[in-house]
Amino acid sequence: MMSDVKSIKITKTIQSKLQDLDASNLKFGKSFTDHMLVCDFENGEWGDPQILPYQNISIDPSTSFIHYGQSIFEGLKAHKGQNGEILLFRPMANFERLNNSAERMCMAQLPEWVYEEGLKSIIDLDRDWIPDDENGALYIRPFMFGTEAFLGVKASASYRFMIILSPVGAYYSHPVKVKIEKYYSRAMEGGVGAAKTSGNYAASIYPAKKGMEEGYDQLIWTDAKNHEKIEESGTMNIMFVLDGKLITPKLGTSILPGITRDSILTIARDWGVETEERDVYVKEIIEGIESGKLSEAFGVGTAATIAHIETIGHDCIDYHLPSVESRSFSNKLSAYLNDYKRGRVEDRFGWLTEV
């Protein structure tokens, strides 16, 4: 344990909400546990983190993040292991990405011990909220935002870091139908697409709404300049099995470096699957579907892990992919990751942390 670790003050809730939770009907991001972690950065240093009963927060109307968007977040999950233990999947990768986002958004760097000890403490306190269901997990939302009360375009002088927890079930209950977006953009080269900042998601809402009105579940984002290269799928990274190879768009300043993405590439290489991180063109994906060389397409991320894509819409034509049942790689991968996160297979990559 690091030498600067301090104790975390815990104020427990008087009355738990757990008895009111309908564990058989969990909707993603709708229910929250009894507690939250709070830590403030003021006068150039971080204060002591504390865990409080889950509650509203009070902010000044001129609080900077409301007006100028200095807001970042992460998402990870806790699962129950086969012996009832609580396991986190690659939590320190999320910490590294959080601070990378903070740097890009000109925000304070979070100390490792605040994140690590705070994460373990709040999960341990609310461990009874973790669903027993095979598809269930405790979704963990660490986030940070600028708190200076000031109207002016500059970096905030103060910040708040928080962690809240939400019991969740499956993110998608069925394979998804997606549309290749060739007008609107989520991000652009040189922008903040590689940071997990709230503005990226705000930019996606309107075009996603239009896509849903056309009958699609999500979008496939393309490059902002020419809309020729595929970047992400909705709020996830995207992967294809094309001509027997696993391919995915290479990272850049317009694509979020997904932890699930990195994990899948690592596993695939360990299994001897040929992988390519490169420019992926819309044209080659459509040609791959038409020729039968594209056998699988799926989104990858913390919320869904793997979201099978069954239909891709492009230029008013819907292209149907092979049935989900026939997809050997993504189905095997989904089962393996599910077992890995629950400690049912060897932790060969050192990705699990027990609370």
The reply to whether domains 9-168 and 176-341 share a CATH topology is no
For the chain, percent of residues with pLDDT exceeding 70:
98
Tell me the per-residue pLDDT of 5-18, one tens digit each, with 9 for 90 and over.
568 999 999 999 99
For the chain, the structural domain boundaries read 9-168, 176-341
Reply yes or no on domain 9-168 having CATH 3.30.470.10: yes
- With bands split at pLDDT 50, 70 and 90, how would you rate the model's confidence at 4? low
Q: What is the 3-state secondary structure (H, E, C) of the chain?
A: CCCCCCCCEECCCCCCCHHHCCCCCCCCCCCCCCEEEEEEEECCEECCCEEEECCCCCCCCCEHHHHHCCEEECCEEEEECCCCCEEEECHHHHHHHHHHHHHHCCCCCCCHHHHHHHHHHHHHHCHHHCCCCCCCEEEEEEEEEECCECCCCCCCCCEEEEEEEEEECCCCCCCEEEEECCCCCCCCCCCCCCCCEHHHHHHHHHHHHHHHHCCCCEEEEECCCCCCEEEEECCEEEEEEECCEEEEECCCCCCCCCHHHHHHHHHHHHCCCCEEEECCEHHHHHHHHHHCCEEEEEEEECCCEEEEEEEEEECCEEEECCCHHHCHHHHHHHHHHHHHHCCCCCCCCCCEEEC
Q: What is the pTM of this model?
A: 0.94
For the chain, percent of residues with pLDDT exceeding 90:
90
CATH number for region 176-341: 3.20.10.10
- With bands split at pLDDT 50, 70 and 90, how would you rate the model's confidence at 2? very low
The pLDDT of residue 146 is above 90? yes
Tell me the per-residue pLDDT of 220-268, one tens digit each, with 9 for 90 and over.
999 999 999 999 998 899 999 999 999 999 999 999 999 999 999 999 9
